[in-house]
Amino acid sequence: MEDVLLVRRMMDGDREAFDELMKKTQREIIRLAYLISGNHADSEDIAQETFVQAYLKRKEIREPEYFRTWLIRMMTRIAWRYLKKKGRERPAEDEELFAGMPRDLQSDLSRAAEQQEERETLAAAIRRLPVKHRTVVILYYFEEMTTREIAVVTGCMEGTVKSRLHTARRKLKEELTGQRAPAGRGGPYEQEELQ
Protein backbone atom coordinates (compact mmCIF):
# COMPACT_ATOMS: atom_id res chain seq x y z
CA MET A 1 0.00 0.00 0.00
CA GLU A 2 2.88 2.33 0.81
CA ASP A 3 4.33 1.82 -2.68
CA VAL A 4 0.96 2.65 -4.28
CA LEU A 5 0.93 5.95 -2.38
CA LEU A 6 4.51 6.65 -3.51
CA VAL A 7 3.54 5.93 -7.11
CA ARG A 8 0.55 8.27 -6.89
CA ARG A 9 2.73 11.00 -5.40
CA MET A 10 5.31 10.45 -8.14
CA MET A 11 2.58 10.67 -10.78
CA ASP A 12 1.74 14.09 -9.35
CA GLY A 13 5.35 15.20 -9.80
CA ASP A 14 6.72 14.51 -6.30
CA ARG A 15 10.45 14.07 -6.90
CA GLU A 16 11.07 12.63 -3.41
CA ALA A 17 8.51 9.88 -4.06
CA PHE A 18 10.25 9.08 -7.34
CA ASP A 19 13.64 8.92 -5.60
CA GLU A 20 12.21 6.55 -2.99
CA LEU A 21 10.72 4.28 -5.66
CA MET A 22 14.01 4.32 -7.54
CA LYS A 23 15.90 3.25 -4.41
CA LYS A 24 13.45 0.40 -3.87
CA THR A 25 13.62 -0.92 -7.44
CA GLN A 26 17.10 0.05 -8.62
CA ARG A 27 18.87 -3.16 -7.62
CA GLU A 28 16.25 -5.39 -9.27
CA ILE A 29 16.16 -3.32 -12.47
CA ILE A 30 19.96 -3.32 -12.81
CA ARG A 31 20.08 -7.06 -12.12
CA LEU A 32 17.43 -7.83 -14.74
CA ALA A 33 19.06 -5.48 -17.24
CA TYR A 34 22.35 -7.25 -16.61
CA LEU A 35 20.83 -10.70 -17.09
CA ILE A 36 19.34 -9.58 -20.42
CA SER A 37 22.34 -7.59 -21.68
CA GLY A 38 25.15 -9.58 -20.11
CA ASN A 39 27.27 -6.50 -19.45
CA HIS A 40 27.59 -4.31 -16.36
CA ALA A 41 28.09 -1.04 -18.21
CA ASP A 42 25.15 -1.75 -20.54
CA SER A 43 22.93 -2.74 -17.61
CA GLU A 44 23.65 0.54 -15.86
CA ASP A 45 22.87 2.48 -19.04
CA ILE A 46 19.64 0.51 -19.51
CA ALA A 47 18.62 1.06 -15.88
CA GLN A 48 19.38 4.78 -16.08
CA GLU A 49 17.33 5.13 -19.28
CA THR A 50 14.53 3.13 -17.64
CA PHE A 51 14.33 5.50 -14.68
CA VAL A 52 14.50 8.60 -16.89
CA GLN A 53 11.67 7.26 -19.06
CA ALA A 54 9.69 6.18 -15.98
CA TYR A 55 9.74 9.71 -14.63
CA LEU A 56 8.94 11.26 -18.01
CA LYS A 57 6.07 8.82 -18.60
CA ARG A 58 4.81 8.70 -15.00
CA LYS A 59 1.41 10.10 -15.94
CA GLU A 60 0.85 7.12 -18.27
CA ILE A 61 0.64 4.71 -15.33
CA ARG A 62 -2.94 3.42 -15.30
CA GLU A 63 -2.76 1.16 -12.25
CA PRO A 64 -0.32 2.29 -9.53
CA GLU A 65 -0.49 -1.13 -7.83
CA TYR A 66 1.21 -2.63 -10.92
CA PHE A 67 4.07 -0.11 -11.00
CA ARG A 68 6.72 -2.84 -10.70
CA THR A 69 5.32 -4.71 -13.72
CA TRP A 70 5.09 -1.44 -15.68
CA LEU A 71 8.70 -0.61 -14.81
CA ILE A 72 10.03 -4.07 -15.73
CA ARG A 73 8.14 -3.92 -19.02
CA MET A 74 9.72 -0.56 -19.79
CA MET A 75 13.18 -1.86 -18.87
CA THR A 76 12.73 -4.96 -21.04
CA ARG A 77 11.81 -2.93 -24.10
CA ILE A 78 14.64 -0.46 -23.51
CA ALA A 79 17.08 -3.38 -23.15
CA TRP A 80 15.87 -4.97 -26.39
CA ARG A 81 16.20 -1.64 -28.26
CA TYR A 82 19.59 -1.02 -26.69
CA LEU A 83 20.88 -4.44 -27.78
CA LYS A 84 19.47 -3.99 -31.25
CA LYS A 85 21.13 -0.58 -31.53
CA LYS A 86 24.43 -2.03 -30.30
CA GLY A 87 23.99 -4.85 -32.81
CA ARG A 88 25.04 -7.51 -30.38
CA GLU A 89 24.05 -9.62 -27.45
CA ARG A 90 26.73 -9.89 -24.81
CA PRO A 91 26.74 -12.93 -22.55
CA ALA A 92 26.17 -12.64 -18.81
CA GLU A 93 28.89 -13.73 -16.43
CA ASP A 94 28.01 -17.00 -14.74
CA GLU A 95 28.20 -15.88 -11.12
CA GLU A 96 26.00 -12.83 -11.68
CA LEU A 97 23.38 -14.94 -13.44
CA PHE A 98 22.92 -16.97 -10.28
CA ALA A 99 23.14 -14.09 -7.80
CA GLY A 100 20.47 -14.40 -5.15
CA MET A 101 19.88 -18.10 -5.73
CA PRO A 102 20.38 -20.36 -2.70
CA ARG A 103 23.81 -22.00 -2.59
CA ASP A 104 24.40 -25.54 -1.51
CA LEU A 105 26.90 -25.32 1.33
CA GLN A 106 28.12 -28.91 1.35
CA SER A 107 31.58 -29.59 2.71
CA ASP A 108 32.35 -32.15 0.02
CA LEU A 109 34.64 -30.20 -2.31
CA SER A 110 34.31 -32.62 -5.18
CA ARG A 111 30.52 -32.30 -5.13
CA ALA A 112 30.83 -28.52 -4.91
CA ALA A 113 33.13 -28.55 -7.94
CA GLU A 114 30.61 -30.69 -9.86
CA GLN A 115 27.81 -28.33 -8.95
CA GLN A 116 29.87 -25.33 -10.05
CA GLU A 117 30.57 -26.99 -13.37
CA GLU A 118 26.85 -27.77 -13.83
CA ARG A 119 25.92 -24.16 -13.03
CA GLU A 120 28.52 -22.84 -15.45
CA THR A 121 27.22 -25.16 -18.16
CA LEU A 122 23.63 -24.04 -17.54
CA ALA A 123 24.62 -20.37 -17.43
CA ALA A 124 26.48 -20.70 -20.73
CA ALA A 125 23.47 -22.42 -22.33
CA ILE A 126 21.12 -19.68 -21.11
CA ARG A 127 23.49 -17.01 -22.47
CA ARG A 128 23.35 -18.57 -25.92
CA LEU A 129 19.56 -18.36 -26.14
CA PRO A 130 18.16 -15.61 -28.37
CA VAL A 131 17.37 -12.52 -26.26
CA LYS A 132 13.59 -13.00 -26.24
CA HIS A 133 13.90 -16.63 -25.14
CA ARG A 134 16.53 -15.68 -22.55
CA THR A 135 14.24 -12.92 -21.26
CA VAL A 136 11.28 -15.25 -20.61
CA VAL A 137 13.57 -17.80 -18.91
CA ILE A 138 15.00 -15.09 -16.65
CA LEU A 139 11.60 -13.64 -15.77
CA TYR A 140 9.99 -17.06 -15.24
CA TYR A 141 12.73 -18.84 -13.29
CA PHE A 142 14.72 -16.05 -11.65
CA GLU A 143 11.95 -13.51 -11.02
CA GLU A 144 9.26 -16.20 -10.56
CA MET A 145 6.76 -14.33 -12.73
CA THR A 146 3.75 -16.10 -14.20
CA THR A 147 3.36 -16.43 -17.96
CA ARG A 148 0.57 -13.86 -17.78
CA GLU A 149 2.83 -11.37 -15.97
CA ILE A 150 5.60 -12.00 -18.49
CA ALA A 151 3.14 -11.36 -21.32
CA VAL A 152 2.34 -7.97 -19.80
CA VAL A 153 6.02 -7.16 -19.30
CA THR A 154 7.10 -8.19 -22.80
CA GLY A 155 3.99 -6.86 -24.54
CA CYS A 156 3.10 -10.09 -26.28
CA MET A 157 0.36 -12.69 -26.01
CA GLU A 158 0.51 -15.22 -23.18
CA GLY A 159 0.60 -17.99 -25.80
CA THR A 160 3.74 -16.43 -27.28
CA VAL A 161 5.38 -16.42 -23.84
CA LYS A 162 4.48 -20.09 -23.35
CA SER A 163 5.83 -20.90 -26.81
CA ARG A 164 9.11 -19.06 -26.13
CA LEU A 165 9.42 -20.76 -22.74
CA HIS A 166 8.77 -24.17 -24.33
CA THR A 167 11.30 -23.50 -27.09
CA ALA A 168 13.90 -22.24 -24.59
CA ARG A 169 13.44 -25.34 -22.41
CA ARG A 170 13.76 -27.61 -25.45
CA LYS A 171 16.92 -25.81 -26.62
CA LEU A 172 18.43 -25.95 -23.14
CA LYS A 173 17.60 -29.66 -22.82
CA GLU A 174 19.08 -30.39 -26.25
CA GLU A 175 22.26 -28.54 -25.44
CA LEU A 176 22.68 -29.91 -21.93
CA THR A 177 21.93 -33.53 -22.84
CA GLY A 178 23.57 -33.46 -26.25
CA GLN A 179 20.38 -34.83 -27.82
CA ARG A 180 18.86 -33.05 -30.79
CA ALA A 181 15.19 -32.98 -31.70
CA PRO A 182 14.12 -35.06 -34.73
CA ALA A 183 14.57 -33.47 -38.17
CA GLY A 184 12.28 -30.52 -38.72
CA ARG A 185 12.19 -29.70 -35.01
CA GLY A 186 14.96 -27.71 -33.46
CA GLY A 187 18.25 -27.52 -35.23
CA PRO A 188 20.65 -24.67 -34.61
CA TYR A 189 19.39 -21.73 -32.64
CA GLU A 190 17.46 -19.33 -34.74
CA GLN A 191 18.38 -15.73 -33.96
CA GLU A 192 15.10 -13.96 -33.38
CA GLU A 193 15.00 -10.39 -34.61
CA LEU A 194 14.94 -7.86 -31.78
CA GLN A 195 12.04 -5.46 -31.61
With 70 as the cut, is the pLDDT of residue 96 above it? Answer: no
- Shared domain check, 19 and 82: yes
Could you tell me the residue range of the domain that residue 172 belongs to?
110-177
- Shared domain check, 71 and 10: yes
Q: For residue 148, what pLDDT band results from cuts at 50, 70 and 90?
A: very high
Does 95 reside within a domain? no
Does 119 reside within a domain? yes
Q: What is the pLDDT of residue 124?
A: 77
User: How confident is the prediction for the chain on average, in pLDDT?
Assistant: 78
Q: How far apart are CA 174 and CA 168, in angstroms?
A: 10
Q: What is the pLDDT of residue 91?
A: 47
Does 185 reside within a domain? no
- CATH number of the domain residue 151 falls in: 1.10.10.10
Task: Give the predicted TM-score (pTM) of the model.
Answer: 0.61
With 50 as the cut, is the pLDDT of residue 49 above it? Answer: yes
Does 100 reside within a domain? no
> Each residue of 136-146: pLDDT tens digit?
988 888 888 89
Of 59-63, 86-90, 168-172, 176-180, the least confident:
86-90
Does 121 reside within a domain? yes
Does 46 reside within a domain? yes
Does 101 reside within a domain? no
Q: How far apart are CA 40 and CA 30, in angstroms?
A: 8
Does 144 reside within a domain? yes
- Shared domain check, 76 and 8: yes
pLDDT mean over 83-94: 60
Q: How far apart are CA 82 and CA 89, in angstroms?
A: 10
- Shared domain check, 81 and 19: yes
- CATH number of the domain residue 61 falls in: 1.10.1740.10
How many domains would you assign to the chain? 2
Give me the torsion for CA of 83, 88, 93, 99, rounded to 10°: 20
With 90 as the cut, is the pLDDT of residue 166 above it? Answer: yes
- Shared domain check, 43 and 81: yes
Q: For residue 193, what pLDDT band results from cuts at 50, 70 and 90?
A: very low
Amino acid identity for residue 125 in this structure = A
